[in-house]
Amino acid sequence: MHKTITMKIATQQLITDLTNTIQTHMAYAESLRAMSDEILNHRNQPGSWSALECLQHLNLYGDFYLPEINRRINQSKTKAEPVFKSGILGNYFANSMLPKEKLNKMKTFKDKNPSGSTLDKRTIEEFIRQQNELLSLLYRAKKISLNKVRNSITISNIIKLKLGDTFRFLVNHNERHIRQAKRAMTLN
């Protein structure tokens, strides 16, 4: 089977799709507010993450990406284009985050690993706050080039991804761990 190296999509469609996915993630997080801390901290097996640890992991990534994206949007003098065309590396990173039928395990960087943290519903509130900020950044990004604006990534200051790919990576990464949180909520 031939894998697509890059992706082309109408910029407005990409922003709409990402916005819809973020709103779904927020609705899920909202539903967690009704759960007890015991259920939210439940792990299905040793070494797995609880629902709160999944959200905390996403919060730790948001702590890096949200200010980085905001800075790049503020610095941009570009104009929006009708079509977003992903970069080879950006498309690879974004697609690698998509959940698969049989989840491909990935090593978590130590500074992004919430395992063993003492967490409560403030983790949910922070996740929702960050998702609102992400929605705001997406809204502001409608006016600039998702192709020309580039930003740093957590693993390297040297590698820069197109802003559109960064949004895709971040939302796909959220999707991956929201699904993991849902699995953690199924009590065995």
For 119-146, write each residue's pLDDT tens digit: 899 999 999 999 999 999 999 999 999 9
| pLDDT band with cut points at 50, 70 and 90 for residue 3 | low
According to DSSP H, which parts of 99-162 are helical?
Answer: 122-141
Burial per residue of 152-161, b for 16 or more beta-carbon CB atoms within 10 angstroms, e otherwise: bbbeeeeebb
Lowest mean pLDDT among 22-31, 73-82, 102-111, 171-180: 102-111
In a domain, 64, yes or no: yes
DSSP 78: -
Give the total number of structural domains in the chain.
Answer: 1
Question: What is the reported pLDDT for 107?
Answer: 55
In a domain, 44, yes or no: yes
- Structural domain that includes position 111: 8-184
In a domain, 3, yes or no: no
In a domain, 2, yes or no: no
Residues 143-155, mean pLDDT to the nearest whole number? 90
Q: What is the residue-averaged pLDDT of the chain?
A: 88
- The secondary structure of 32-92 as a DSSP string is HTTS-HHHHT--SSTTPPPHHHHHHHHHHHHHHHHHHHHHHHHH------SEEE--HHHHH
d(CA 179, CA 181): 5
CA angle 129/151/64 to nearest 5° reads 35
Q: What is the pTM of this model?
A: 0.89
Question: What is the reported pLDDT for 144?
Answer: 97
In a domain, 79, yes or no: yes
Question: Which neighbouring-strand residues pair with 156?
Answer: 153
d(CA 168, CA 185): 26
**Secondary structure E strands in 64-139:** 83-85
Q: Are 147 and 93 in contact (CB under 8 A)?
A: no
The CATH number of the domain holding residue 131 is 1.20.120.450
In a domain, 160, yes or no: yes
d(CA 70, CA 88): 23
